Amino acid sequence: MSTALVQELSFRERIAMLRATKMRHTEEKWREIGSLDMDDLPIMLPPPEMRKIVRIVSGSGIVISDALFSNFIPTSNHPSGGFFGARACGENFRALLDIHPPYVDPVSSLAGGYMASFLAYRDPAWNPDCDYAHLHAEQNLYKLHHGIGAVQHFCQDMTIGFRLGWNGLLDQIHRYRGVQRDDEAQELYDGLEQCVLGIQNWIERHAAAARTMAREEMRPELRKNLFELAEMNAALVTRPPVTFREACQWMLWYQLAAKMYNMSGSLGRIDQFLYPYFVADKERGILTDEEALFHLACYFIMDTSYTQLGGPDAEGNDTTNPLSFLVLEAAHLLKIPVNVGVSVGAHTDRRLLRRGVEILFEDKTGIPKFLGVDRTSEGFARNGYPIALGRERTYSGCHWCAIPGREYTVNDCVKINLPVLFDTALRDMMSDPALEKNTTVLWARFTHHLRRAVDVIAQSLDFHMDHMFQVYPELMLDLLCHGPIERGRDASHGGVEFYNLCVDAAGLATTADSFAAVEQRVDRERKITWVQLRQELDADWAGPAGERTRLMMKQIPRYGSGSSRADDYGKMIAGLFTTSVKAKPTPHGFNMIPGIFSWAANIVMGKDVGATPNGRHAQSPISHGPNPDPGFRKDAAPTALAITVAGIQPGYGNTAPMQIELDPGLSKNNEDIDKIVDLIITHFDLGGTQINMNILDKKAILEAHKDPSKYPDLVVRVTGFSAFFASLSPEMRQIVVDRIIAEG
């Protein structure tokens, strides 16, 4: 072996190597399991000798492939073959961790990586004993995404883990075992304990693996790194983290386990809870900015969960600090889909926002996104909470916020498909001879069905809250919440302080445009009769005459054009939806909070709806989030878009995010960057809650659409999340392409 002096690898080189490894893993995933249509999760495939490919239903409802460990079969505790309840879930999760091989990259300052999604081993996922057949009829009629069985989608408080460490958490479980003696509590403690023991064992094996690798590693700086990893992780099996690097490593263990358990993807305000470690280490002279940046990059390579930067403290003062900037720079360095959101409010630091916009234009990865923190905290207060609590609510998911460790939300899991309700109303009107046929009557039927759909959602949520703990409790999130251990109750069953259940509407533009189209073309201009329209819809605008009718219906002043009838309908629908959700809590008394967001589910939700009078074809995607459909105005003016979306906000703390695509050519100099910054701030001034901004390079996107494999690095913001373009299904890619074509 050569003994020549090798140049030490710099941090930047190590990051480039980590990124290359990640890209290799990602491309292997695309090859083995195909398109994903969801957040870019850094999950890796199990080693080939332990790998089994299966077909499952993806998050956006499409059947996709998934890779499982061939050597893990969960133990059932139910005749259905499934496993249910805290004890069975904990034991099986531990068994999965026990066969999960360690993953140590000698280049990274942090150990760990994950290859399994425990959710994929649940079959059946729902306990058939918890029967909700009484709700089926209406859930199906309205095609509701009703939330029964929803997992995670709220946010832990990482500082609990930082304070206690894994042994501290075990102690806590043991202590309360003696206090809460009922069966439900005892079973929960069993489950939680299994999780912690499994994680500790898993970390221990990483420490051992790092030590073995260190002995064989020839490059001195990596050898040193591996020894450090071995030592640090041997300690973190039991004690809490002390240094910045340890805190990053602890956080990574928790997040990896939480991701594996049920894909939990919330991080929250890492620039706040890591800050004390950052400051202390810098004061002791054991950490430089460059090193901190490196640790953060090593972290994001393995976990890209949702993160808020800056934003108000309880009194409303801005919390932006040097670490906020470093987190942004880490995402910039990596150019992978790290889900970072920058806070924008009356008192927030414009420099952070400005830097965010610069990075957005430079990287074109849709990162960061922008958070209207004043609007969401004020809105939350309208539910009857103090504003300080609203400020504590943290961006931690695709379009949503939660109070870390204290609030259960089912955010982004409950969706009402407005176009289905429109179609139901239209069929009602047409089939009832007693009803007059006009838009006013249609609106009345729509109102009826929307209220009914909200009622069905409320009942479904109650059912979920009654039973989820018996099916698949939130073991990983319970560990870092205030209350579940102390009360002996799962977070979904009374474990935490606040319950604010999310109810989102989807397909706003499709519905608003449909109302305006029938009002103009059928009622006012009489260009087509109701009967003819119904026939055209049922025939999906077949034939040349149908196509002409379709174009006629589409060719109206659309939602988003500004002061059109469709804009009026957009506001009326959003208002009706909001008042329906806020009219009363669920029958069991849970507060519900309205939002307007489809996520990437606008594709699968579209499959539930036939042709609609806005000229949309049957089964094609419904409109995205609260956005107008592409082509809503000739000038595609971002200001018109910003005013439209600001004008339909439900206003109770949950969001209706604006999705906006801009041409890279818009930003030619510093002045232009400032204009984009002003666009963002003004949207929030006008009432907006979140902005997902995409800088789309038309040429690259169109070429990548033809052959995605040629552009493995291309990242786009699809919706609340960014993802590698190549990882999207052809349908989802088409949606992105349509947006830029329409923008001209």
Partner 1 sequence: MPDEKPVPSMSSAGTVFHIQRFSIHDGPGIRTTVFLQGCALSCFWCHNPEGSTTHPVLQFYADRCTACGACVQACPHHAHEFRDDVHLFHRERCVTEGACVESCFSQALLLTGRSMTVAEVMAEVLQDTAFYERSGGGVTLSGGEPSLSSAFSGELLAQCKARGIHTAVETCGEAPWASLADLLPVTDLVMMDIKHMVPDRHRAATGKANDRILDNARRLAGTGKPIVFRTPVVPTVNDTEEQIADIAAFIRTLIDQRNGSAAPPADRAHIRYELLTFHRLASDKYRSLGREYRAATLEPLPKSRMQELADVAAHLGVDTAIR
Q: Which is nearer to partner 1, 140 or 639 (CB)?
A: 639
CB of 183 to partner 1, least distance (A): 58
Site string for partner 1, 405-424 (x = CB under 8 A): --------------------
> What type of residue is 244?
F
Q: Which is nearer to partner 1, 496 or 681 (CB)?
A: 681
Q: Which is nearer to partner 1, 147 or 356 (CB)?
A: 356
Q: Which is nearer to partner 1, 572 or 686 (CB)?
A: 686
Task: Assess contact for 582 and 594: CB atoms under 8 A.
Answer: yes
- Name the token pair of 169: 């958490």
Q: Does position 354 bind partner 1 by CB under 8 A?
A: no
Q: Does position 75 bind partner 1 by CB under 8 A?
A: no
Q: Does position 674 bind partner 1 by CB under 8 A?
A: yes
Site string for partner 1, 524-553 (x = CB under 8 A): --------------------x--xx--xx-
Whose tokens are 């009107």? That residue is: 429
Q: Which is nearer to partner 1, 440 or 563 (CB)?
A: 563
Q: Which is nearer to partner 1, 59 or 557 (CB)?
A: 557
Site string for partner 1, 137-176 (x = CB under 8 A): ----------------------------------------
CB of 220 to partner 1, least distance (A): 44
CB of 653 to partner 1, least distance (A): 23
Q: Which is nearer to partner 1, 576 or 642 (CB)?
A: 642
Q: Which stretch binds partner 1 (CB under 8 A): 148-156, 158-166, 191-199, 672-680?
A: 672-680
Q: What are phi and psi of 158, to 5 degrees?
A: -60, -25
Q: Which of 164, 184, 181 is nearest to 172 (CA)?
A: 164
Q: Does position 666 bind partner 1 by CB under 8 A?
A: yes
Chosen residue from 221, 231, 663, 672 binding partner 1 by CB under 8 A: 672
Q: Which is nearer to partner 1, 618 or 686 (CB)?
A: 686
Q: Which is nearer to partner 1, 527 or 584 (CB)?
A: 527
CB of 371 to partner 1, least distance (A): 18
Q: Which stretch binds partner 1 (CB under 8 A): 92-100, 145-153, 288-296, 670-678?
A: 670-678
Q: Does position 350 bind partner 1 by CB under 8 A?
A: no
Q: Which stretch binds partner 1 (CB under 8 A): 34-42, 202-210, 391-399, 668-676?
A: 668-676
Q: Does position 675 bind partner 1 by CB under 8 A?
A: yes
Q: Which is nearer to partner 1, 163 or 548 (CB)?
A: 548
Q: Does position 563 bind partner 1 by CB under 8 A?
A: yes
Site string for partner 1, 620-659 (x = CB under 8 A): --------------xx-xxxx-xx----------------
- CB half-sphere exposure, 539, CA atoms < 13 A: 15
Q: Does position 686 bind partner 1 by CB under 8 A?
A: yes
Task: Assess contact for 570 and 625: CB atoms under 8 A.
Answer: no
CB of 666 to partner 1, least distance (A): 7
d(CA 282, CA 118): 39
Q: Which residues contact 13 (CB under 8 A, 6 or more apart)?
A: none
Task: Assess contact for 609 and 622: CB atoms under 8 A.
Answer: yes
CB of 616 to partner 1, least distance (A): 15
H-helix or E-strand spanning residue 476: helix 475-479
Q: Does position 678 bind partner 1 by CB under 8 A?
A: yes
Q: Which stretch binds partner 1 (CB under 8 A): 260-268, 283-291, 482-490, 681-689?
A: 681-689
Q: Does position 685 bind partner 1 by CB under 8 A?
A: yes
Chosen residue from 481, 679, 728, 737 binding partner 1 by CB under 8 A: 679
128-135: long-range pairs with CB below 8 Å, 24+:
128/80, 129/78, 130/463, 130/467, 130/470, 130/471, 132/460, 132/463, 135/456, 135/459, 135/460, 135/463
Angle at 677 between CA 675 and CA 679, to 5 degrees: 70
CB atoms within 10 A of CB 131: 12
Angle at 474 between CA 32 and CA 105, to 5 degrees: 45
CB of 636 to partner 1, least distance (A): 9
Q: Which stretch binds partner 1 (CB under 8 A): 187-195, 216-224, 621-629, 664-672?
A: 664-672
Spacing of C-alpha 179 from chain mean position: 36
Q: Which is nearer to partner 1, 364 or 399 (CB)?
A: 364
d(CA 229, CA 223): 10
Q: Does position 681 bind partner 1 by CB under 8 A?
A: yes
Helix (H, G, I), strand (E, B) or coil at 216: helix
In order, the DSSP letters of 182-215 are: SHHHHHHHHHHHHHHHHHHHHHHHHHHHHHHHHH
In angstroms, the first-to-last Cα distance of the chain is 59
> What type of residue is 529?
T
Q: Which residues contact 533 (CB under 8 A, 6 or more apart)?
A: 518, 522, 553, 613
Q: Which is nearer to partner 1, 685 or 703 (CB)?
A: 685
Q: Estimate the share of the chain in helix, then strand, then coil, as percent rounded to the nearest 5.
A: 55, 10, 35
| Binding footprint of partner 1, residue count (CB under 8 A) | 30
Taking the CA atoms of the chain, what radius of gyration do you get in angstroms?
26
Task: Assess contact for 210 and 229: CB atoms under 8 A.
Answer: yes
Binding residues among 478-507 for partner 1 as defined by CB under 8 A: none
Q: Does position 611 bind partner 1 by CB under 8 A?
A: no
**Dihedral class, residue 57 (left if φ above 0, else alpha if ψ from -120 to 50, else beta):** beta
Q: Does position 571 bind partner 1 by CB under 8 A?
A: no
Q: Which is nearer to partner 1, 327 or 528 (CB)?
A: 528
d(CA 14, CA 16): 5
CB of 8 to partner 1, least distance (A): 37
d(CA 631, CA 193): 55
CB atoms within 10 A of CB 538: 13
CB of 26 to partner 1, least distance (A): 33
CB of 638 to partner 1, least distance (A): 5
**Dihedral class, residue 298 (left if φ above 0, else alpha if ψ from -120 to 50, else beta):** alpha
Residue 2: burial class (beta carbons within 10 Å; 0-12, 13-18, 19+): exposed
d(CA 616, CA 622): 8
Q: Which stretch binds partner 1 (CB under 8 A): 168-176, 401-409, 620-628, 662-670?
A: 662-670
Task: Assess contact for 634 and 651: CB atoms under 8 A.
Answer: no
CB of 637 to partner 1, least distance (A): 4
Task: Assess contact for 39 and 579: CB atoms under 8 A.
Answer: no
Dihedral in degrees, nearest 10, Cα atoms 343, 346, 348, 354:
80
Q: Which is nearer to partner 1, 97 or 701 (CB)?
A: 701
Q: Which is nearer to partner 1, 18 or 660 (CB)?
A: 660
d(CA 507, CA 133): 27
Q: Which is nearer to partner 1, 10 or 670 (CB)?
A: 670
Contacts to partner 1 by CB under 8 A: 544, 547-548, 551-552, 554-555, 562-563, 634-635, 637-640, 642-643, 666, 668-669, 671-672, 674-675, 678-679, 681-682, 685-686
